[in-house]
Amino acid sequence: MNEEFAQKVLIVDDESHIRAFLRLVVGELGAVDVREAGDGPNAMLLYKHFEPDLVLLDVNLPGEDGLTILGKLRAFDPAARVVMMTAVASREMVEKCIAGGVLNYIRKDLPRAQLLPLLRETWAAAVAKQSP
């Protein structure tokens, strides 16, 4: 992979305004195909058919939480690249998500100017880790 940022991104968040904000951010970073899901079941369906390069996954979702969906994603595709997004970060949740193999754990309420470089650096680190 030589692209500067993930080309295909799946955004999973139950709040439409957050999905819209993240869509703009990843578009600015270079994503060309962005899909959205508002809950876990739809996220899993989209992941299986869309095969995104990157998933931005909210921790707090209706029904199954983001940690549960993370486990399902990793069971389906152990190479899934997932960034957990949340407005509330507890140490325990961060540790569980990192143990689950996420690329990063980022607060989604960060200003755009801080979110852009964090996502760019996270993607670059994931790509570098995969390079021979």
Q: How does DSSP assign 39-56, residue by residue?
A: SHHHHHHHHHHH--SEEE
Single-letter residue type at 40:
G
CA–CA separation, 69 and 132 (whole Å):
30
Does residue 54 fall inside a structural domain?
Answer: yes
pLDDT value at residue 1: 41
Does residue 112 fall inside a structural domain?
Answer: yes
CA–CA separation, 11 and 37 (whole Å):
6
The pTM of the full predicted model, rounded to 2 decimals, is 0.93
Domain count across the chain: 1
pLDDT band at residue 131 under the 50/70/90 scheme? low
pLDDT value at residue 98: 87
Does residue 27 fall inside a structural domain?
Answer: yes
* CATH code (residue 121): 3.40.50.2300
Does residue 1 fall inside a structural domain?
Answer: no
More confident residue, 94 or 65: 65
Does residue 132 fall inside a structural domain?
Answer: no
Domain extent at residue 22: 8-125
Confidence check: pLDDT of 3 > 70: no
pLDDT in tens, 75-118: 999 999 999 998 877 888 888 888 889 999 999 889 999 999 99
Does residue 2 fall inside a structural domain?
Answer: no
- Picking from 36, 78, 28, the residue whose alpha carbon sits closest to that of residue 57 is 36
Residue with token string 């983001």: 66
Does residue 100 fall inside a structural domain?
Answer: yes
Does residue 79 fall inside a structural domain?
Answer: yes
Confidence check: pLDDT of 2 > 60: no
Enter the tokens of residue 61. 């979702």
Cβ–Cβ < 8 Å for 40, 67? no
SS3 36: strand
Kindly report the average pLDDT of the chain as a whole number.
92
